[in-house]
Amino acid sequence: MTTKVCVYPGTFDPVHFGHLDIVDRALNIFETVVVAIAENPKKEPFFSLEERIKMFQDAVSKYKGRVIVEGFSGLLVDFARKYNTKIIIRGVRLFTDFEYELQIAMTNYKLDKVETFFMMPQQELIHISSSIVKDVAIHGGDISSMVTPFVKSMLEEKVKTLWKNS
């Protein structure tokens, strides 16, 4: 089976330049990248699923339809089947990321012969994580080198709302 579509899953809470680098690089290999934003009831995301979708859609608007952004819940292999692909792209930054991602990749292969391609972001982006972005934003640091202007404004608004309500 050959495919022109891959699925890039994650929580993306929020999307940052490391995520976007993976999308950009995947588009050098695949015609279409489907960003699958996980609802993930085990995690308590900072942003709602709708907000995360909106931020990612804004961040990839320059790709003119080559990137589809959609929320999902349930098994990733079922979501991939919807797009008739057996290719998953995962970004890994550190060896600890790889250990966890390898377990998921092997499970997805066992469930439905889904292959996982691991990609690393550019060296200058490898330190960025959604957790770090949120932490810096909460403490009033400058996140403009980590996220798009739209995501930055969404984060600033969310932080203001949190401080008002606490």
Cβ–Cβ under 8 Å, residues 81 and 46: no
Is 164 annotated as a binding-site member?
Answer: no
Kindly name the residue from 16, 19, 52, 86 that is annotated as catalytic.
19
Is 92 annotated as a binding-site member?
Answer: yes
Query: Distance between CA atoms of 45 and 61, rounded to whole angstroms?
Result: 23
- Find the radius of gyration of the CA atoms of the chain: 16
Q: Residue 89 in 3-state DSSP? A: strand
Is 37 annotated as a binding-site member?
Answer: no
The residue with tokens 């292959």 is 115
Is 141 annotated as a binding-site member?
Answer: no
* 66 classed as catalytic: no
Kindly name the residue from 54, 93, 152, 158 that is annotated as catalytic.
93
* 130 classed as catalytic: yes
Query: Distance between CA atoms of 69 and 144, rounded to whole angstroms?
Result: 23
Is 115 annotated as a binding-site member?
Answer: no
Report residue 38 as tokens: 């996980």
Is 101 annotated as a binding-site member?
Answer: yes
* 43 classed as catalytic: yes
Kindly name the residue from 43, 82, 110, 160 that is annotated as catalytic.
43
- Three-state DSSP string of 99-125: HHHHHHHHHHHHHHCCEEEEECCCHHH
* 81 classed as catalytic: no
Kindly name the residue from 16, 52, 130, 134 that is annotated as catalytic.
130
Is 43 annotated as a binding-site member?
Answer: yes
Is 12 annotated as a binding-site member?
Answer: yes
Is 90 annotated as a binding-site member?
Answer: yes
Residue set of the binding site = 11-12, 19, 43, 76, 90-93, 101, 125-131
Residue set of the binding site for ATP = 11-12, 19, 91-93, 101, 125-131
Residue set of the binding site for substrate = 11, 43, 76, 90
Active site residues: 19, 43, 93, 130
